[in-house]
Chains A and B, each alone.
Chain A
Amino acid sequence: MSPVLEMRSISKAFTAVKALDQVDFDCRAGEVHVICGENGAGKSTLMKVLGGSYRPDEGEIRLDGAPVRFQHPREARAAGISIVHQELSLLPFRSVAENIFTGMEPTRWGLLDRRQMDERARALLQRLGSSIPTGAQVADLSIAEQQLVEIAKAMLLDAKVLVMDEPTAALDDRDAHALLRLISRMKAEGVAIIYISHRMPEVMAIADRITVLKDGRLVWTRDRQDATVNAIVTAMVGRELQDFYPARAATEPGQSVLQIRGAGNRHLRDIDMVARAGEIVGIAGLEDSGKGALAQALFGDQPFTQGEVEIGGKPVVLHSPRQAIAAGVGYLPGDRKREGIVPRQSVRDNALLTLQAMAAVLSLPNAGVRSVAEADRNLRTMDVRAGDFGQEIATLSGGNQQKAIIARWLMQNPDLFVFVEPTRGIDVAAKAAIYETMRALANEGRAIVMISSDLPEIVGVSDRILVMHQGRIAGELPGGAEEGAVMQLALGVTGNAAEREMV
């Protein structure tokens, strides 16, 4: 069977950097072709070339055998290439139907045909197994629902080629599984699907073929049967990663650093938990289980309204991030771009920000030369790769930005660290580095609370796992527990039902 899409010798350079170098890629009708690669490997650039956002410097794209050149995304879209973007591209204040039809609005007598929009949107969503009301405003939907709208938008035109760029990054396991089921269905309908992901289990579950990119070059393309996780990871990072997850704590955890009794607020109820020095406590749960709310409460961002919290044995009030920081809490936000970095400031200033925030208002910005040196040392410890720490942080890759924010907290030396989705959207090598840092921080006697939607990560990294369901802690599991057991608690159902959900 000849491929629907062929990309031949695609090259694209930005000023000095070659983002793509002679990359060949193709995709057949009815197959799922997964692209793997570290951040910066060129995956997104390749897809932007395909989608008409970038024009390639050299190379050729053929669709159904005919060469095409896209000047604008609209041309790619018209040619049958649909892209589900990693960053949501929705309009928050418009309805679901309006969002799905953006740029493709049906008209009747030259006017918007809203009835047709509603009907077709409803049909599309039904096909995706969703019953989101088409008139709902997108801002009122959950992230998962928004992701579905995004997919419906991409499927509006009977696409020949459907590109999904980390579509499960924002989804919890339940929603991710639903999405994977959908993909198999579309595959059966003969759509050529290009799928980008960092989640290895997912990749192995749905791929027909796998392509690995590294540093803008094609490493290899193989059938799934001929690829192993190890081979993929090795190809991605260029070396073997034996111990992806670091070893668990060798010693027994020490004294309790964090103790919560009977705490709750609008989203949380009856929270009792302990985190001890030297351990990593994983918090798992579905999207709306309250695990995010727990992190926010621990950091005083959305405070507890009842119950008691002790840190280091002393009762504390956590009504604002500042109070939490003063009480010895560090916090790595889940959304790096919106909640982590201050993009136009230097890498160094980003690392120094909390120190500056907690210092006396009119003190020297860097509290003396010492702190600059310390910031640089921490940045180097975290292996932040930047030409110069004075460079704007927005120019760094996501993984490096994340490391710089961890460096920010190293300056603060907190007793309790809250990590929210620490590796979301980060490539494999940076992931491993972050896990190692977390373990090292724990080994130095800190307590770590890690909130994550990534089940393997929860299971692989945590010493203990707390699973949340409907605003409560539904149960506790030891580190290394079966993923299924975690899921079972997260869903709040019996074992068999959970198994069914998983399929």
Chain B
Amino acid sequence: MQLRTILAATLAVAFSTTAYAQEFNDPAEFKKQRELLSTKAEGPEGKPWEQHLGGGMVDTAKFKKDGPHTICFSNAGVFNPWRVVGLNNMKGEAELQKARIKELIVLDGEGKDDKQISDIQSLLDGGKCDVLIVSPTTTAALTPAVEAACEKLPVIVFDRGVNTKCPVTYIHPVGGYGFGITSAEFIASKLPKGSNVLALRIVPGVDVLETRYSAAKSIFDEAGINVIGSEFTGSDRAKTKSVVEDYINRGEKIDAVWMDAGDTATAALEAFEDAGLPYPVISGEDQQDFLRKWQKDNLVAIAPSYPTYQWRTPIIAALDILDGKQVPGPEWNLPQPAITQETLASYIDERMPPLHYSLCGCQDLPGYPEQWGGK
């Protein structure tokens, strides 16, 4: 063990330049989100995508316009299943409201900030849009483009924010701290002090993911639970499984697995299966494959969510704005539920593909389930 430490230290020294990490530990935001988690939602019952947690309303009379409307959407990209399901939700919502919508134009930024900026520019130049929805690739990068758009159109931002108050509203669920709080509190409640938890994360440096870990870490620290490792898996199942196998092979006892995103949760569990070990306590996410495995193998688990139903909300907001109705803003906090043992059964739908996000709120949309890949 000592040798490993020395080797690691030498290499770390050799490579560490000016190690710099942005601070993702914002106690005020942590506290705020913790409160939001328990806030009673306002809005129609059973339709969380139309609800909001506290906050004010903004007046939009000045944007009132006769329909039908052309809604433009600059998407960061569809580079993971979460965004794929989300985009389907948005298209489904638009289909549902097709009487009021002339056209929904979607430009895909392919995950490149530079391209998304140009995309927004060309949407403005095209002159067809009545309202612009933006899901930014990165917060800072898209700010100037969004500011420019605000001067011409009502703008709605969702998922990730921008560093400007100019959009009419910014739609998002409670947030990363909330995600971390829900999952880590569940794990802490199931384990005695001194237990070991392995944290599996996708990539470093993504704001919405870093906050999840930061919240979970502080809760684990508080509860006296050891985080024996924090590993990045790049959303790669093979990598996830290998990493977990390596930890198991090292002979470390793993009581729980915490994940900042659940798409490789079943791969992590398989590592335990293959090693002939009992399943750990685990926090995943609301994908079907994880929920089914949970049910089938009676896991001790929780599925916090970063719900994809938030993709429905911007369309609703856009139409309201163009009708001149008040909408929640300038921040629209959506509820961020977690799936627990009690509610598990209701979220499982055998027709849906394994990586479908159950909190899509899409069951009532036209084209369900085929549009979402279901049978």
Chain A–chain B contact at Cβ < 8 A: no
Residues of B bordering A, CB below 8 Å: none
